[in-house]
């Protein structure tokens, strides 16, 4: 299987993963806003679209990466947060693998 075949098959998968990510973010933010308003305020009241900014996005990523959800003692929120962290790692591996493959392919074909 060539790199073109792999990248062509991966593109729709990545597109579906982006849509899934938006849904997961919306679920996370809704849960934080409803059950943990103090934490939601500390994060800068991040939003998926309307108040979306770099600080809100970075606060959410920091929340996921540092696994800050454990301090809130909310099992459903913990499951969602852990799922999102695993999802983010898988997406990043696929994305950067394809990016690396693209640059390797163009470098090899240029030689």
pLDDT tens per residue, range 2-14: 888 888 889 899 9
Averaged pLDDT, 21-37:
97
- State the Cα angle at 36 between 30 and 39, rounded to 5°: 100
Percentage of the chain modeled with pLDDT above 70 = 96
**Average pLDDT for 37-56:** 85
Question: Mean pLDDT throughout 22-51?
Answer: 93
Instruction: Please tell me the total count of domains within the chain.
Output: 1
- Given this model, what pLDDT does residue 50 score? 75
| Domain encompassing residue 70 | 3-110
- What would the mean pLDDT of 15-24 be, rounded to a whole number? 96
- How far CA 95 is from CA of 7, 9, 37, 87, 99, in Å, comes to 10, 13, 33, 12, 6
Q: Tell me the average pLDDT across 86-107.
A: 91
Please tell me the distance from the alpha carbon of residue 45 to that of residue 105, in angstroms, as a whole number: 42
């Amino acid at each position: 299987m060539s790199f073109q075949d792999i990248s062509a098959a991966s593109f729709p998968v990545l597109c579906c993963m982006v849509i899934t990510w938006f849904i997961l973010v919306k679920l996370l933010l809704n849960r934080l806003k409803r059950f943990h308003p103090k934490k939601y305020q500390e994060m800068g009241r991040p939003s998926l679209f309307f108040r979306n900014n770099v600080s809100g996005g970075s606060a959410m990523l920091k929340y996921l990466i540092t696994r800050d959800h454990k301090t809130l003692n909310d099992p459903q929120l913990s499951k969602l947060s852990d799922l999102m962290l695993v999802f983010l790692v898988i997406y990043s591996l696929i994305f950067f693998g394809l990016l690396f493959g693209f640059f390797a392919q163009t470098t090899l074909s240029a030689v």
